[in-house]
Amino acid sequence: MKLLDHYSTNARALPWRHPPGHDGPRDPYPIWLSEIMLQQTTVATVTPRFERFLQKWPSVEGLAAAPLEELLGEWAGLGYYARARNLHGCAVKVAEIGGFPSSEAALRQLPGIGDYTAAAIAAIAFGEDAVVIDTNVERVVARLHAIDRPIKDVRPQIRTLAGELYAGVPSGEMAQALMDLGATICRPKNPKCEACPIADDCKAYASGNPQAFPPRPAKAKRPERHGIAWWIELDGQLFLTRRADKGMLGGMAALPGPDWQDGEAPPSPLPAIRHVFTHFALTLRIEQRSQPPANLEGWWHPLDRLEEAGLPTLYRKAADAMLAQRKEAPLHA
């Protein structure tokens, strides 16, 4: 098939990927790890973090034995932190059963592994027949057939049409070929149709406006939330706490503060940062305090080693804002 031929000579060199045509054994651990990391995170962001994870925990058994707090700290900055908790839970389960199962159905029973990830691991790591569909594959299929409805409304049709591409070919190779095509050529904006190996078969290309397919649904306005983070500094150390296991940024190191509130942030002279999550935008004001509240559990972390604290992006932004402000003017308690 033209697409597989193109993939054989143009495949991206990725640290978790075997080259096209590789027939030797494949360790499912790095394939699983990469798939979890790549959920809603770019290849460019994941690549150095993936390599660091493998250096620190070269086996699933090693990852299972690591304290969850250590894994969460290493995950900081990758976002979607429930993935990190599921990653640890899955590693523990796989270590208990003695290895990754090879079937889609069994893989789906593991923490944090949904339909796509189960299909990808089964196909790429174990050579099982599976129809692997991520957002890149959805877009390629929708354009091939000039589907003029939003993806969310036609997923059963997309799956049926994708199944035709996987029929009679190695599923792992086809999955990676389609993902590469969607990531590098059949891009959401400005697709490079002149470089596409299957452009002659593409109805969206034939229409003269391939970028119009599939149509995007209207974006809903993102809700607003607001909150306060306490900056509690003493003798060159910053007081940090750990967020509750359940909920946003669960289990992550954080600046302490009260629960976030719904709605627009009220006017305030306090410095603030803004952070956009998937489902809402947050305005976080930063309030300086001299001491932590009584009975608040936490620890003092050296300010000159703040990069070792494992702060997620939100709180790292808040810390950077305060440190930048201090360079401009002295802080007042």
Which residues have a catalytic role annotated? 35
Q: How far is CA 48 from the centre of its chain?
A: 14
* Encoded amino acid at 137, one letter: V
Main-chain phi, psi angles of 13, to 5 degrees: -85, 105
Residue 126 in tokens: 């174990």
Establish how many alpha carbons lie within 13 A of residue 185's alpha carbon, considering only the half-sphere containing its beta carbon. Answer: 22
- Residue found by looking up tokens 């877009």 in the block: 139
Nearest alpha carbon to residue 66 among 333, 310, 265, 318: 310
